[in-house]
A and B are shown apart, each in its own frame.
Chain A
Amino acid sequence: MGKDVFEIVVNCVKMLLIFLVMVQLVPILVWLERRVSAFMQNRFGPNRVGPLGLIQLLADAVKFLFKEPFFPEKGMAVMYYGAPIMALIPGALALAAIPLGAPFHLEQFTWLGREWGPYDFIMQGYDFGVGIVIVLGVSSLGAYSLLMAGWGSSNKYSLLGALRASAQMVSYELALGLSLVGILMVFNTFSFYDIIAQQTGMPLTFNFFGKVHSIAWLPNWGIFFNPLGALIFFCASFAETNRLPFDLPEAEGELVAGFHTEYGGFALLMFYIGEYGHMMVASALMATFYFGGYTIPYVANESVANWVSSGGLATHPNWAAFLTSLIFFLVFLLKVFLFLLIYIWVRWTLPRFRYDQLMDLGWKTMLPWALFNTVLTAVWLAFSHRPV
């Protein structure tokens, strides 16, 4: 936690901030979803309330808060009320385990009449060193919120939705986990910081039959080492987040609203936050593994620090360090937003799969291809470092 009051307080505030980032990005994403879908379908979308329709979100929040909460007659209270809370936990915990910006170092400083520091802070809730294993483990608990909601509602549509959801999540988790094995073999580590550090630097450098080659105009990103794995990971993450084209758990044409049929008001909002939280985690993992994390392509990390300290933005080195980290955080957020936009784009482009198509895609297409990707990466790694 920390060695003195300052560090403990900063770490606690950091956890809270990461949770709030997740929660506060949801209205913006909802707004984006409406506006982008309207743009794609040649409509206007909500544009009456406030500039660009942004105040509409506030009206929505008020509506969610003031709706009457209700409880199904034969429902199970523990599960019915527990499910929305359970929906928030995995997303928030997983997001807290991903580095959102470069770690920064604070020199010793005087504040409130005593000496503090030096400190090292990470732009991340917690770091156990095995990064991705914990993220996958925590986010795999997301299925329980759907199962609890489906069972606790005591409604056939809810139950069917929950069963579909859990079958789908378990099936696609395999492909999701296996698709990451390739990139983990390339980087040879579990730690997010090591993975990002290996993707920093400008020319794309790789070994081929023992000789070092480089392509000068490409950044050193994971996607160039493992494009197939990236594709499978991104597709499987759609199924994990229950988004279209994989939103069979809440197929409204067949199941009313699936597992959250019996929910309304704030509880429903919490399910939405959980879903968007999963999207953010998937996008953040995509950015971290395949697109260089918080680093900026074509710009060295040191030159950002130099630019901040020499440009007169911050005079004190501590503020400069913090500001540098903040710039990296914004870069990371930009990358995450690009992937979130792709999520929205796909949702409004592709139709929903049929259930047997979904299972076929998961078990007969993605899983074999993910296995093939693992084997291919292993063979490639074995040969590329060996001279002919």
Chain B
Amino acid sequence: MRFELTPRTTVSPVARALAPVAAFIVSFLIAGFVIWLMGRSPIAAFDVYVLQPLSDPWSLQELLVKATPLALIAIGLSYCFRASLWNIGAEGQYVMGAILGSWLALKTHGTEAGFWVLPLMLVLGIVGGALYGLVPAFLKTRFGVNEILTSLMLVYVAQLTLDYLVRGPWRDPKGFNFPQSVTFDPSATLPPILESGRVHYGVFFAVIAVLVTAVILGRTLFGYRLKLTGDAPRAARFAGFNSRATTMAVFAISGGLAGLAGISEVSGQIGQLQPSISPGYGFTAITVAFLGRLNPLGILVAALVVALTFIGGESAQILLRLPLDLTQAFQGILLLCVLAADALVSYRIRLVTRGGGK
């Protein structure tokens, strides 16, 4: 028994758009099966994971809050993935952006620093993430070192750096020895859009990133260069496109956006540095990027959908006592299904049993 793949001559746009939806449904069925194996009701889980968050205004706000970093990071990753470059260290770039941006917040803490603090923090966040993203890009272009492994290793290094800072030099001296920094001043806090609301201005950054990316990918030579570098590297070389410059550029962009996500989360959501500032946004964003088919608008939708699994996961932990790890397992299965569904779009697949032509 084996599979037989034949490339489809025409790929219907409807199938292309429906593939992620189908992948999502299949992953839900698998997750339901796992929950049933664990002796819980899949129906109740579906209610808690999906229906309740969507019918509660507080959860809807939370949805935007969680979707913001996911969309920002995934948009950045889409640049890399389009060029077939594998930046899987967005989590580290997110942390480094948060660290560099927070440095200014802590430096100006308690002073009468003005309105310039917050914008400069955001810029520093972008710079921190971009510089950290450039490390694997530089190692790849200059020395030919595989970017997958270096970018991933740097995640651990970034997390340890943050851990050192909040337990050591940046610890709040009045914080009862808790490993956390002082709470940021109002001048260093990304304000909520609505008074007393939870949604901060980071949402706009995500939307701007989506719009700008849509223009860049669809309307500029750079966007075309990315696509060509990814799909046909030889052709891109013959066309005179410099693949080294492209590599550096996409890593800087994706690192910068991850850094912006990091500093926005810390200054708009958490309000201080602590050992853990992300439930794995940098890794989940990989799923988001593929679920959105590397398309800016698709990613925006995918970020909202995947954010739902985070919120659902949190309430399922409280209401059904289902562990948070279930969410991560679900996100992994979802990515597998999305990638498999992509293949279904471009290939016709037949299951050949014995005798069917060996």
- Answer yes or no: do A and B interact: no
